[in-house]
């Protein structure tokens, strides 16, 4: 009975393991402005948007994911949905009312 119980807990433990690991790669500081520069998350990487600096006190950051915009940071109301994770192969644009920088941590996905 003891061995059966041990086997049961062992199976449960291994059924909840992650599909991969993340390894720190680099920190990126990307430009954002009203012309919405776009970037593509490289294959085998994942981005974590950490913060944004905006030159206007009433500014905001709109994140464009594969052409669809979503406001993730609004300075005027203090709203903040950061950090924001972006998977490999995603086309990303940062529209910032005026000018600003976006701080991103890039991770390698290790299978």
Locate the domains of the chain by residue range: 20-110
Q: Contact 90/65 with Cβ under 8 angstroms? A: yes
pTM: 0.71
Helix (H, G, I), strand (E, B) or coil at 20: coil
Helix (H, G, I), strand (E, B) or coil at 85: strand
HSE-up of 73 (CA within 13 Å, CB side)? 25
**Helix or strand holding residue 29 (H, E):** strand 21-33
Given a cut of 80, whether residue 83 has pLDDT beyond it is yes
The segment with the largest mean pLDDT, out of 25-34, 40-49, 81-90, is 40-49
Q: Which CATH class is domain 20-110?
A: mainly beta
pLDDT at position 10: 47
The segment with the largest mean pLDDT, out of 11-15, 16-20, 23-27, is 23-27
């Amino acid at each position: 009975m003891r061995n059966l119980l041990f086997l049961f807990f062992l199976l449960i433990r291994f059924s909840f393991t992650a599909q991969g690991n993340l390894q720190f790669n680099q920190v990126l500081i990307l430009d954002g402005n009203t012309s919405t520069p776009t970037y593509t998350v490289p294959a085998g990487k994942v981005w974590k948007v950490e913060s944004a600096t905006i030159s206007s006190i009433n500014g905001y950051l709109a994140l464009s994911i594969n052409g669809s915009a979503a406001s993730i940071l609004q300075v005027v109301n203090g709203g903040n949905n950061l950090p924001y994770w972006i998977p490999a192969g995603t086309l990303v644009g940062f529209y910032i009312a005026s000018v600003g920088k976006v701080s991103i941590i890039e991770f390698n996905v290790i299978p």
